[in-house]
């Protein structure tokens, strides 16, 4: 059900911004997009260096990105900085953003700053900073009207869950005993079976994932094919994109066995080479964020699962961390994804999928569904 929170005063908007972006912004600029009186979402970027050209480029990119959101007609801008004031480091970015917004035909509702000891408006540079307590009071008012989520820090979201020592010992033993399935087809079946069990809506109410299941997923995640299956199945399940067809096409490519590919394809497509190509193209598009929005609740459960796996896997965690980073990115949390990817690259500097996803993050690309707030 849609949650509506009214924010007619600037402190009310500031109270809701961290909830809109999903994290507590630090050294950041947040662009809030509006359609009429309703917010259509928010975009957070890190503050650029204090030179004119990077500020202009960052502002142009942010406003250009908001142009992709349907029916946006105005924006509000908030700069978060520990040195917060109406001056640097945000003033050049704000000036560039106002210019870019004007060229895009967007109205500007406000341009605010939040610092360590107060907040204010770039439109009122001579005014004394207002107390942060006003924002806290506004948030209390909002929470009295609606059940709102917390806004954790980027660092806390990027942390992995560290299982207790007894579980780690059981996991290590299960990993030593793990006997890989005799074929990629069987391995894929095992991956889907385990994920389906632990991505059910009631999964969070159960005991932690059995160590044998965790060991199997960690071991099998070192196959690029099965890692991709884990990513897509965690986000979309089987029905959204024909997982079996995708698996068939990747298995055929990796092991050059049409028999294996045929066994995981629907019978009606078993001899249709076009089905392989179509499935692979569709899956590839989903991996780069083009397609239907994943189920948010399922994504949340998947993040819990792969955070647990990464904590258990220790030095073997690069694939699990990469899956976890991708899941955060699908939620629109590119900064969180970047921190998780850094950990994956610390373990395996040359890990290919981590580098590919890193290129996506550095390009500023967001999932297509981020631009459709009604999806």
Maximum alpha-carbon separation in the chain: 74
Q: Roughly how many angstroms between the first and final C-alpha of the chain, as a whole number?
A: 13
Band of the pLDDT at 257, cuts 50, 70, 90?
A: very low
Render pLDDT for 270-324 as a digit per residue (tens, 0 to 9): 445 666 666 677 777 888 888 888 888 899 999 999 999 999 999 999 999 999 9
Q: How confident is the model at residue 238 (pLDDT cuts 50, 70, 90)?
A: confident
Rounded-to-integer distance, Cα 276 and Cα 288, Å: 19
User: Does residue 129 contact residue 160 with C-beta atoms inside 8 Å?
Assistant: no
Domain boundary assignment for the chain: 10-151, 158-370
Question: Which class in CATH covers the domain with range 10-151?
Answer: alpha beta
What angle separates helix 224-236 from helix 273-287, to the nearest 10 degrees? 70
What is the model's pLDDT at position 264? Answer: 40
Q: 20-47: per-residue pLDDT in tens? A: 888 888 888 999 999 888 888 888 888 8
CA distance 143 to 18: 13
Q: What is the pLDDT of residue 128?
A: 80
Please report, for the chain, how many H helices and E strands are present, in that order: 16, 5
The answer to whether residue 244 scores a pLDDT higher than 60 is: no
pLDDT at res. 301: 93
Position 256 scores a pLDDT of: 39
- Average of per-residue pLDDT across 92-102: 93
The secondary structure of 188-243 as a DSSP string is: HHHHHHHHHHHTSTTGGGSPPPPHHHHHHHHHHTTSHHHHHHHHHHHHHTTTTTTH
pTM for the whole structure:
0.78
């Amino acid at each position: 059900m849609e949650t509506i929170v009214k924010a007619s005063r600037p402190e009310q908007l500031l109270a809701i911004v961290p909830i809109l972006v999903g994290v507590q912004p630090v050294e950041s600029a947040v662009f809030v997009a509006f359609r009429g009186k309703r917010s259509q979402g928010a975009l957070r970027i890190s503050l650029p260096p204090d030179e004119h050209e990077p500020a202009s480029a960052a502002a142009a990119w942010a406003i250009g990105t908001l142009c992709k959101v349907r029916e946006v007609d105005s924006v509000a801008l908030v700069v978060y900085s520990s040195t917060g004031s109406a001056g640097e480091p945000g003033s050049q970015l704000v000036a560039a953003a106002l210019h870019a917004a004007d060229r895009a035909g967007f109205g500007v509702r406000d341009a605010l700053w939040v610092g360590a000891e107060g907040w204010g408006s770039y439109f009122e540079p001579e005014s004394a900073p207002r107390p942060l307590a006003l924002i806290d009071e506004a948030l209390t008012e909002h929470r009295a009207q609606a059940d709102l989520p917390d806004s954790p820090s980027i660092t806390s979201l990027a942390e992995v869950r560290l299982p207790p020592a007894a579980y780690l010992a059981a996991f290590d033993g299960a990993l030593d005993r793990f006997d890989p399935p005799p074929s990629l087809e069987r391995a894929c079946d095992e991956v889907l079976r385990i994920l389906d069990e632990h991505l059910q809506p009631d999964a969070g109410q159960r005991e932690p994932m059995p160590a044998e299941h965790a060991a199997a997923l960690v071991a099998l995640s070192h196959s690029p094919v099965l890692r991709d299956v884990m990513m897509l199945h965690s986000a979309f399940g089987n029905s959204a994109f024909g997982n079996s067809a995708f698996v068939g096409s990747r298995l055929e490519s990796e092991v050059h066995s049409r028999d294996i590919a045929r066994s995981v394809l629907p019978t009606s497509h078993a001899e249709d080479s076009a089905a392989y190509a179509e499935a692979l193209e569709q899956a590839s598009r989903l991996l780069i964020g083009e397609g239907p929005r994943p189920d948010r609740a399922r994504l949340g459960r998947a993040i819990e699962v792969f955070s647990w796996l990464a904590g258990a896997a220790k030095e073997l965690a690069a694939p699990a961390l990469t899956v976890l980073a991708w899941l955060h990115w699908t939620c629109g949390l590119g900064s969180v994804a970047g921190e998780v990817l850094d950990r994956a690259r610390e373990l395996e500097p040359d890990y290919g999928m981590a580098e590919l996803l890193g290129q996506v993050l550095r390009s500023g690309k967001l999932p297509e569904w981020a631009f459709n707030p009604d999806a």
